Structure 1
Amino acid sequence: MTEKFKVIMAKKEEAAAKCNDMKEEKKAYGVDMFMDDGRFWLYPHISVPFILTSIFMSKFVSGSCPNPRRHPTEPLLCTAPIKYQYANFSANYLYWGKGTIQFQLINQRSDFSFALFTGGLENPKLVGLTKLSPFKNPKAPVFPRLAQGKTHDEMAVTWTSGYDVGDAYPFVEWGMVTSGTGAGNPTRSPAGTLTFNRGSMCGAPARTIGWRDPGFIHTAFMRGLWPNKEYFYKIGHELPDGTVVWGKPYTFRAPPTPGQSSLQRVIVFGDMGKAERDGSNEYANYQPGSLNTTDALVRDLDNFDMVFHIGDLPYANGYISQWDQFTAQVAPISARKPYMIASGNHERDWPDTGGFFDVEDSGGECGVLAETMYYYPAENRANFWYKVDYGMFRFCVADSEHDWREGTPQYKFIEECLSTVDRKHQPWLIFAAHRVLGYSSNSWYADQGSFEEPEGRESLQKLWQRHRVDIAFFGHVHNYERTCPLYQSQCVTSERSNYSGTMNGTIVVVGGGGASHLNGYTSAVPKWSVFRDRDYGFTKLTAFNHSSLLFEYKRSSDGKVYDNFTIHRDYRDVLGCVHDSCFPTTLAT
């Protein structure tokens, strides 16, 4: 649910003459904040660096709070705005003494107010503040996000609301779409409820100026699904008087059974982030390709079945309200398709919190937001690794922000995930994680004298080779790159796009969907680098059957294919065996 607010600014001396006209304009445009009380008048003769209009939730504190870790785009305020715009968004506003700014707001379970500041980001001074503007039905259930459960016949749906379990009973109503009659007899499944408080955050800004109440996060499970059947669902909350507050209705298609032969299409990308459609700025506002990627996927919604977003989700970096913005942005996708996630440095990393990297990239979130806002089928939600069986695919999703070297719990999980797949029925074995284990010719890695993150590559490469991993996907680096099938830095074939026969190496793919900025490459192209593209995009896997797989890389700006390859082979080519002598899984047996 979104609402548009139009902010009108004018010189005070024009107010009397223009008041009636502006009130009519308020009616015509649905203006919620009409500043005709003298507090928001802009005087053209006042010299200021710039004036900005910001939106805040309730309990706004206008004082300055210096932050030594502050990003240059972050105003020094004790209460972080939801978003802000410069007043000169309206051309010649100082000359004419008036201007108009439009904001698009989403339901974040709170009233809003508009504030006007002078002094710029470095020295913001409050000029005026509107009264609180209530949002229509602020507690309503919003932003549904599907995820495949621990078994193929289970679909989880997670959503956000303002209702605690004592206020209303959360549930999902669902059923199979039957031919001729539409929706069948519905079932109601109860939802569990989670939330967290400021004390759950590990540091600033998440615990200080970036804190926002996250509301309540509900997850319900739809079980016993028939493979490839279409289902309807609708999230809701039953109030004590028996009335129900409903979310919007949606449909989804149930996953195929493991090994089932049917057309199966999966999207994979990392580092998408989020952006504001109304042109607003926000804290950590630096994901320019995010909307392109989101919109490209929405346009193509009928042509894929599942999404893997492998880390660096909203880049909230401790500004909690941006998680609402992100879940709202991807809701047109996640409400219809399973939206599977992985942990990235901007979700998890914070010193002395049990992660592998002792850095502050999460802005104090230390994994709490990602673990709560989305469901994923891990055995332990604090351990962000899990497997997904989707028809002919087996996905082994790892957590690069925890140690995965030999002997660790995660290493044992990865080995089990790779070794237990039946390659006769699930021939396409995919590994995915956030940080690049290798290989990337990103210029930053080259400056460090490497083509990878520093730990764990050798131990996992042994697993890839032993269990014949087809493709390893990574994010983190903000460009696209694909390697040849390789092992220990050596290409095992000279072929670049049509692979067939014996499987001896793993193809590594690196790519970000929206990212904060685009990374450059080394001037020298490594022998294993087959294709590079310094742009935003996403990848798509299409399994036609047990012996044919198509890989495509598309730019999100135009949706066109810029790189692709095919794999054609029999499961015996994977296992290196002859008829009637193949093991049921991999060579590890």
Structure 2
Amino acid sequence: MGRKGGLVCKNKKFEGTVSISVSPTVLSKSGDTVRIQWTGVDSPSDLDWLGIYSPPDSPDDLFIGYVFLSTDPAHLTSGSGSVSLPLPNLRANYTFRIFRWSKSEIDPTRLDHDHNPLPGTRHQLATSDAVGFSTGRRPEQVHLAFTDREDEMRVMFMTGDKEERLVRYGESEGELGSSAAALVERYEREDMCDEPANETAGWRDPGWIHSAVMKDLKKGLRYYYQMLVHLLLYRDYFDEPED
């Protein structure tokens, strides 16, 4: 679902017009993929790169990820190309920006986590429209975990609000006769132990964490469970261990 969006940008130092487009601009769930396309990069280089930004008003040097345009070999011959990227739901929109970087601008003291020089942001060529996630999303990051009791199973999931949720479960997919209320909690920027996570620029809204315990489970049986969030249903099952 969603639409295709793009923006054209002229850079006075580098002749020509660079355009960038993203499709789709509205994603359904965390991990969905967007396709970024660009054209019009003059004298393409293997140091031209694409910055990933969230939120969209982040300063140029606060990108959360980057990809060299030469990831698509067509870029080096035509100045055009595309790349597809999965996006996690950070509860904030994304934008993408194209930059030109030269070998003379490499700073060996600024390294990424792989100890490679971080690309420079002096020469921005284009920026994309915003990309976001649709409202009314299903639960995300669903996890199952044992408790300290053999007849229990904990299910945890994330949503964008703190409304109370019920987890329904049972031995038959069509008869979920038991239910468990989920406790709701979250953490704030002040709870983080170190920068940049506890700084304004590095903080990301974690959403709300829901945790429910399914009880009185019988060994060796398969159980089905479901959660309803904004009229979107999440269903799954698990097998209770025999021992």
Normalising by structure 1, what TM-score? 0.32
Which residue matches 1:224?
A: 216
Indicate the SS of the match to 2:97. strand
Change in CA separation of 1:198 and 1:14 when aligned onto 2, cut-off 3 Å = closer
- Aligned residue in 2 for 1:251: 237
Partner of 1:54: 51
Question: In structure 2, what residue type is equivalent to 1:97?
Answer: G
Matched-pair contact (CA < 8 Å) for 2:95–2:127: yes
Q: Hey, which of these two has a bigger chunk of strand by percent? A: 2
Match of 1:199 among 170, 173, 190: 190
Residue number among 111, 120, 123 corresponding to 1:123 in the alignment: 120
Q: Deviations over 1:72-121 (max 9, x none)?
A: xxxxx3x341x321111111413312111111224343322222223372
Asked if structure 2 preserves the Cα contact closer than 8 Å seen for 1:113 and 1:129, the reply is yes
In structure 2, the partner of 1:86 is: 68
Alignment partner, residue 95 of structure 2: 113
Stretches of structure 2 that go unaligned for 5 or more consecutive residues are: 9-14, 22-32, 107-117
Deviation, 1:236, is 2.3
Structure 1 distance, partners of 2:202, 2:192, is 10
Q: Does 1:175 align with 2:170?
A: yes
SS in 2 for 1:236: strand
1:100 and 1:8 mapped to 2: Cα distance?
15
Give the AA of the match of 2:55: S
1:233 aligned partner: 225
Counterpart of 2:224, as a letter, is: F
| Structure 1 segments unaligned to the other structure (5+ residues) | 16-21, 23-29, 64-76, 257-390, 392-589
- CA root-mean-square deviation: 3.6
Change (3 A) 1:138 1:42: farther
Q: Where is the helix percentage greater, Structure 1 or Structure 2?
A: 1
More contact order relative to length (CA 8 Å, sep ≥ 6): 2
For 2:83 and 2:155, the matched residues in 1 are separated by 36
**Deviation of the 1:136 alpha carbon:** 3.0
Residue correspondences, number: 208
User: Which one has the largest radius of gyration?
Assistant: 1
CA offset digits 1:122-146 (Å, max 9, x no partner): 4223333212122234643112100
2:186 partner letter: T
Change (3 A) 1:128 1:171: farther
How far does residue 59 in structure 1 lie from its aligned partner after superposition? Answer: 4.5
Paired letter, 1:210: G
Q: Deviations over 1:195-253 (max 9, x none)?
A: 1111111211222343211111111110010111100011223x5xxxx3322x11101
Cα distance, 1:164–1:196 mapped onto 2, change above 3 Å = same
Give the TM-score, by structure 2 length. 0.71
Q: Is the 8 A contact 1:43 1:94 kept in 2?
A: no
Question: Which one of 77, 80, 85 corresponds to residue 103 of structure 1?
Answer: 85
Amino acid at match of 1:133: V
Aligned-partner Cα distance in 2 for 1:14–1:213: 33
